[in-house]
Amino acid sequence: MRVAGLLAGTLFVSHLVSIPIVVGERQKPFSGAHPLTGGKDELEQWIRQQDAYSRAHILSNIAPFANDPSAMPGAVCASPSRSHPDYYYAWTRDSALVMNELLSWMEHNSSMSGLQRTLEDYVSFTRHLQGLKGLRYGLAEAKFHMDGRPFTKSWCNGQTDGPAIRGYTLTRYARYLMRQGRDIEHLYGLIRTDLDYVSSVWMQNWHCDIWEETRGLHFYTLMAQRRALTEGARLARMLEDYEAATGYEREIELMERRLGDFWDERGGHVMTTIEWSGGLGSKHSQLDAQVLLASLHSAMDDGVYTVESREMLATALRLLRAFEPLYSVNQVLSAEINQAVVPVGVALGRYPEDVYNGVGTSRGNPWSLVTSALAEFHYRLALEYAKRGEVRASEELRDLIQWTRRRYHEKVEFKGLLRYLLGVGDLYMARVYLHTARDHTMYEQWDRLNGYGRGAVHLTWSYAAHTAASRARSRLVELIAREA
Ligand code: NOJ
Ligand code: NOJ
């Protein structure tokens, strides 16, 4: 195995600099610390406990509910909070992301196949929502009441990432069922409905972004749409629905060309929105953590804005630089877990100009799900390098590593790039630990001044972002143990 050779031969016997360099210049040697020098076991234990708690809480946010018999089975509430803020709705985006997470558990562990019941509820709920008539934005309505009624008050609607994420989630579920020799007839029609819609609207510029504030063409939304059509076209071919497949493939080509327009060469990062057409006009930096989420949720195995792409490495660093000075809590450099002291990384928010405080508007805060995503980003970066058996040296990778080291300068030896990235991911996990309640309750945000939970309590997506990061970490830890 190439990875084995790489790990044994080079990575773990030497300093980071000796990672095999395939293209580009050789990096200058440096010695430094594995950033996490103590408390690794304690942190790991917390991650596990938080994972179990998060899974339970995700499931308890999915109807049926004993305390609300009117909620339709399969409806996921964004949070059980019904006031300040009222998040007791089924958002299409949050729900599909959560169902995707459930699918990861099921694919990873056959003893979780009982969750199929929940997926089937979600399929029925989707059939209900797709059948609703008279909605201004139809499939792109952002959210619905938990009993399946449309939400009719004013909202930044037309969120077309929703049907796209749902489309690829249902496609993934269809593949899961097919592997078990099961029928997917009840699914394919729903998938086509979402994908046909995406195919017909993606190029227009009225879409509202995932933060529900800005209209235009959005990187996150387009990445989700591209994944949906790509996986949908593959499924259509398998089912010999060539007409649909060809139609989707035509759009994919155009989408990929459009995606290139999001790279800002001068600014050196991926822009969040182009062709702005309304809503929030104050995001001058064009820097937004939803770009990172786009790569984690929707990049495929083809190098297009994947975690290890130069574009994503550069954007991650730009985000770190922008957010570090923004929040007072980022002056805290360590946390105590069961008497062990661990270094903590930077807390990230949505975008620097953000003013949403979780209930109303004043000043934006760091977000739990975004900071978990940053941890996941580093774990997946390491997994990607391990899978390829090589590291492409780039200025962007070097800059990201050097920036991180500048913040944490203990003098311990590096144990290779994979371990280093594990340690860096752990910095951000430790940050999430620091601001998560000791009983494991998660919120949407953390107060930028004192670090306490703010905004919606028990936000389903915050838990799902933790379980996703924790899964990537476990895979990485296993791999390192196997190859060491
Ligand atoms: C609620 C939205 O969900 C949030 O993303 C947005 O920032 C605020 N409304 C703006 O008021
Ligand atoms: C506000 C976030 O901006 C949006 O992305 C999310 O869908 C809703 N909250 C519900 O969690």
What DSSP element (H or E) covers 446?
strand 443-446
Q: Which tokens is 178 given? A: 């097919």
Torsion over CA of 209, 214, 218 and 220, rounded to 10 degrees?
-30
Task: Answer for the pair 123, 175: CB distance below 8 angstroms, yes or no.
Answer: no
Which amino acid residue places its CA nearest to atom 7 of ligand 2?
94
Q: Rounded to whole angstroms, how far apart are CA atoms 229 and 241?
A: 14
> Could you give the C-alpha distances from 443 to 15, 160, 382, in angstroms and in order?
39, 26, 28
Which amino acid residue places its CA nearest to atom 9 of ligand 1?
212
**Interstrand relation of 453-457 and 443-446 (parallel, antiparallel or unpaired):** antiparallel
Q: What pLDDT, on the 0 to 100 scale, is given for residue 34?
A: 42
Tens-digit pLDDT profile for the chain (484 aa)? 233 323 322 332 223 323 332 222 222 223 334 444 578 999 999 999 999 999 999 999 999 999 999 999 999 999 999 999 999 999 999 999 999 999 999 999 999 999 999 999 999 999 999 999 999 999 999 999 999 999 999 999 999 999 999 999 999 999 999 999 999 999 999 999 999 999 999 999 999 999 999 999 999 999 999 999 999 999 999 999 999 999 999 999 999 999 999 999 999 999 999 999 999 988 889 999 999 999 999 999 999 999 999 999 999 999 999 999 999 999 999 999 998 989 999 999 999 999 999 999 999 999 999 999 999 999 999 999 988 888 878 899 999 988 988 876 543 333 488 888 999 999 999 999 999 999 999 999 999 999 999 999 999 999 999 999 999 999 999 999 987 7
Mean pLDDT of the chain, nearest integer: 91
Q: What pLDDT, on the 0 to 100 scale, is given for residue 37?
A: 57
Is 433 strand, coil or helix? helix
Q: Rounded to whole angstroms, how far apart are CA atoms 156 and 145?
A: 16
Which amino acid residue places its CA nearest to atom 10 of ligand 1?
356
Buried b / exposed e along 264-295 (16+ C-beta atoms within 10 A): beeebbbbbbbebeebbeebebbbbbbbbbbb
What is the distance in A from the centroid of ligand 2 to the CA of 261?
26
Q: Which tokens is 165 given? A: 């994420």
354 lines ligand 2 (CB under 6 A): no
What DSSP element (H or E) covers 424?
helix 417-435
379 lines ligand 2 (CB under 6 A): no
Q: Rounded to whole angstroms, how far apart are CA atoms 83 and 112?
A: 34
What number does the ligand 2 atom closest to the CA of 460 have?
11
Cα Rg, the chain, nearest whole Å: 22
What is the distance in A from the centroid of ligand 2 to the CA of 127?
23
pLDDT tens digits along 122-166: 999 999 999 999 999 999 999 999 999 999 999 999 999 999 999
Ligand nearest to the backbone CA of 94: 2
Which amino acid residue places its CA nearest to atom 2 of ligand 2?
211
Q: What residues pair up with 89 in beta bridges, in sequence order?
A: 145
> Could you give the C-alpha distances from 104 to 113, 176, 332, in angstroms and in order?
11, 10, 34
What is the distance in A from the centroid of ligand 1 to the CA of 213?
7
Task: Answer for the pair 194, 163: CB distance below 8 angstroms, yes or no.
Answer: yes
Q: What pLDDT, on the 0 to 100 scale, is given for residue 416?
A: 82
Mutate to test the pocket of ligand 1, among 92, 93, 210, 213 (most ligand atoms within 8 A of CB): 213
What is the distance in A from the centroid of ligand 1 to the CA of 421?
33
Task: Answer for the pair 369, 78: CB distance below 8 angstroms, yes or no.
Answer: no
What is the distance in A from the centroid of ligand 2 to the CA of 210?
7
Q: Rounded to whole angstroms, how far apart are CA atoms 223 and 232?
A: 14
Nearest to 443, CA basis, from 456, 429, 430 = 456
Q: Which tokens is 59 given? A: 């499931």
Which amino acid residue places its CA nearest to atom 8 of ligand 1?
356
Q: What pLDDT, on the 0 to 100 scale, is given for residue 409?
A: 55
143 lines ligand 2 (CB under 6 A): no
**In which region does residue 185 sit, left (phi positive, over 0), alpha (psi from -120 to 50) or beta (all else)?**
alpha
What is the distance in A from the centroid of ligand 1 to the CA of 344?
28
Mutate to test the pocket of ligand 1, among 356, 369, 454 (most ligand atoms within 8 A of CB): 356
Which amino acid residue places its CA nearest to atom 4 of ligand 2?
211
Torsion over CA of 163, 293, 364 and 425, rounded to 10 degrees?
150
Mutate to test the pocket of ligand 1, among 141, 151, 212, 459 (most ligand atoms within 8 A of CB): 212
Other CB atoms within a 10 A radius of the CB of residue 317 amount to 20
